[in-house]
A and B are shown apart, each in its own frame.
Chain A
Amino acid sequence: MINLNVNQKTYQIDADLNMPLLWAIRDIIGLTGTKYGCGVAQCGACVVHLNGEAVRSCVTKLSRAAGQKIVTIEGLSENNNHPAQLAWNEENVPQCGYCHSGQIMSAAVLLRENPNPSDADIDSAMAGNICRCGTYLRIRKAIHLAAELQRKEAAGK
């Protein structure tokens, strides 16, 4: 039995310590917002936060994740109101939508580390996330908007 802390909730699960976090989150805990896309850390559809860092859950073993603080797209905000989520909706980013949990989780870390990212910063931080529908122009626009929303929020506090 291991303890997994996902979105501030602790789950006791009985699984192989070599199982990637992705499958434990999806098949055992039942949170399906985190997606399987490639299984080999190429596409970023499975990005979650582990102690605040963006990791690819498809190659993160349970042995590494056990006892750590994990956040998935479902736990990123209370009401779909993280600045990245608000901006994604405002800019109509998703088409099929499958990759965007991972895109948003990557963007959230970028926005925390770099509140005013340039196009080049965005391209570099988002290079690990594939979108087959080709929403990249909108992702870039949404991250700029999210940065602006975040700054406004900070100024309001």
Chain B
Amino acid sequence: MSTSNISRRHFLRAAGLTGTALFVGLYFPSNGEEAKLATASAAETSDIELNAWVHIDTNGKVTIFSHRAEMGQGAFQSVPQIVAEELEVNLKDITIRFAQGDREKYGNQVTGGSSTIRGSYKNLLKLGASAREMLIMAAATKWQVSVADCYAESGHVIHRPSGKKFHYGELVEAASKLEAPKDIVLKKRSDYKLIGKPLSRQDSPLKTNGTAVFGLDKKLPGMLYAVVERNPRLRGKLVSFDASAALKVAGVKKVFKVQTGVFQTFRDGVAVVADSTWAAIQGRKALKIEWDDSGFEHMSTAEIYRRQNDLLKNQEGLSAKKQGDPDEILALAAQKLDVVYETPYQSHSAMEPLNCVAHYQEDKIEIWGPIQAPEWVQDYICGQFKLPKEKVVVNMTFLGGGFGRKAFMDYPHEACLISKEINAPVQVVWTREDDMTQGPYRAGISYRCQGALTNGQLSALKFKMAGQNIGHWMGAPKDQPNRSTTEGFLAPYYESIKNVSFSDIPFEIPIPNVWWRSVYASTNGFAYESLINEMAHLAKKDPLEFRRDYLKDERSRKLIDKMEELSGWKEKKNGEGFGLAITECFATTVGQVVKVSRKADGKIKIDKVWAVVDCGWYVNPDIIHAQVEGSVLMAYAAATIHQITFKDGLVEQKNFYNYLMPRISDMPKVEVHVMENDENAGGVGEPGLPPFTPALTEAIFDLTGKRIRKLPFDMDNV
């Protein structure tokens, strides 16, 4: 027996899944071919590591392991809904549990790029269908009847001519000895009973009675609590510290230096470990620390944008996308625009602040936390502590929001370092102030955007971006552009515009940055859709009609028709401003129309937002609606309130009293429409965000004639 099989048995035992059962899973062949299916017993004889287990026990209870995180995007509902459809079981008979981090076993586990469904739905359908076929086969063999006369429904196999039936639980032993079928015919969308329905989320009850375990809720016997005073200038160094007063605080156990990885650099801090979070916070307040701030003293927001704007004036940058010759057209065109759009730094500010539990013992580490990328954490911790993979176990909990920040490895690393130092399990807790002032942030980007009209037609578009590049922090070469900055760039129109370019001017400062919901699509979308709106006005055309000429395919044309119809675009009344934008990211296109008007006191209000989503094949429309509603609010705050600013190298925003969060009364009305088609599934968690801001600023322009090119702007003072 190989080690991998031993570890698999351990895993199943640890998960409480012992005894007779049918397991079906996927594995990734070493030749890089697409995932294949196998049963556990077949995998055991051929030494294959299976993932995405479907486990059916003798009571007919089904357990699925989710290799991705649940941070609100609905994996815990969508994944079972997909499997249940083909497996023919009732949703209430399925339990979903988190898998651990393991790249070899699960492939990509990063919950980012809106990938949960689009990355795995075909495999999940096959998994459910294969298990169902094996159960039918087992029943047919027991009855000595033809497979064609049997069918599955609600966790039973039924013999159609006689009406006799077996419960799945009665069949798992026989089915587990069969081989997974080679060719599986999947259901047509029109035959679905569960997929496509707005079924209630299975995780809601856990989140309404306090039983859902988020990272911060994880407790271990003998666990201590740690907070860390980190250099307030993001990555500056520690010179010295005096812990004498901190150690006198009741409950404080130990104080020491901790140096946590931030990409290829380190962040210095002083950890205070105590028997409660509160005691650790009190101890931290009593620390006396001298920091070395060199390199950060003069960093300020004004300086950052001055330098970015200089770059836009003086440099061409690295060409990331180009067709035709926009420079030549721009030089000749009589009608043209040359404008700069600015977007601010943003904090993720998930409601659950960063935290992580780690237990380091005798060269073995186990971690529990709100983690978006468990296999990256595993890789990183293995590297930092020089441990093999089997010695580093990474467990996911529910995430109280993630938005990209929790795909980073610094807080698990910090927890591991502290646990090792104190030789006990520990939970490191970032206060809200830590979460807000330490980054990494979404970078603030400046764009220079030029457009030309020839005979009233859009003949050239030229975009340059100056701002920090996440890819560079991740080690991408700095002398060539990288894909991350052009995700979905101008996608609905790109092919229809003959001369287009996008270039990226590298800009380096020591503020760490990381993905933020929809990544560069959130800033790019503001730039390119605002420019399209401005070009429409230059051409003296309605921005919706103007776009029709450049939408490249039927799906996009249907989308804009729906936007026009739903929003009553043509029935605009006096005193109303309408704006629209269409963006694509992570294989989904979303168009939004925003309608604004003035309140009695003259201030502008949003009357309504209509969002039309084309994400192709989809699972649960209610989850899509929820994700788009949330994306609209996050975009609204990012456009009108939120801005992380720097002064003398320090972040000026500390907590929700000066990084204000929208409240219930700020939420605009949102109507979401999901397009019906059978195209490949696109993402849902992020694509609803980018179109909102350019649609809002266009609506404000339509109402007031004022063009907003710099974010955030104050809705009360337009």
Contacts and interface: CB of A to CB of B under 8 A. Distances in A.
B669 interface: yes
B208 A100 contact: yes
B278 A19 contact: yes
A35 B400 contact: yes
Interface in A19-63: 19-20, 23-24, 26-28, 30-40, 42-43, 45
A129 B664 CA distance: 8
Contacts of B667: 134, 136-137
A105 B497 CA distance: 54
A43 B401 CA distance: 14
Given A23-B278, A38-B656, A97-B398, A123 B664 contact: yes
Contacts of B626: 92, 95, 133, 135, 138
A98 B214 CA distance: 8
B227 to A, nearest CB: 11
B634 A132 contact: yes
A118 B596 CA distance: 24
Contacts of A72: 210
Interface residues of B, number: 64
A33 B401 contact: no
A37 B216 CA distance: 10
Interface string A121-137: 01100110111111111
A145 interface: no
Contacts of B630: 95, 133-135
B277 interface: yes
B349 interface: yes
Prevailing SS type, chain B contact patch? loop
Contacts, number: 187
A94 interface: yes
Interface string B205-249: 111111111101101000001000000000000000000000000
Contact of A32 (B72, B73, B200, B219): B219
B192 to A, nearest CB: 20
A99 interface: yes
Interface in B448-499: none
A43 B633 contact: no
A45 B349 CA distance: 14
Contact of A96 (B217, B219, B352, B664): B352
Given A33-B210, A89-B205, A98 B631 contact: no
A72 B662 CA distance: 25
A139 interface: yes
Given A32-B213, A35-B352, 14 more contacts: A23-B277, A32-B217, A33-B210, A34-B210, A37-B351, A42-B655, A43-B432, A94-B201, A96-B351, A126-B663, A126-B664, A130-B661, A134-B630, A135-B630
Interface of B: 71-74, 200-201, 203-214, 216-217, 219, 225, 250-251, 275-279, 282, 349-353, 398-402, 429, 431-432, 622, 626-627, 629-634, 655-657, 661-667, 669-670
17 contacts: A26-B277, A32-B213, A32-B214, A43-B432, A45-B351, A80-B209, A88-B204, A89-B208, A96-B71, A100-B207, A101-B210, A123-B664, A123-B665, A126-B664, A134-B631, A136-B663, A137-B670
Q: Which 3 A-B pairs have the closest CB atoms?
A: A33-B210, A98-B400, A97-B207
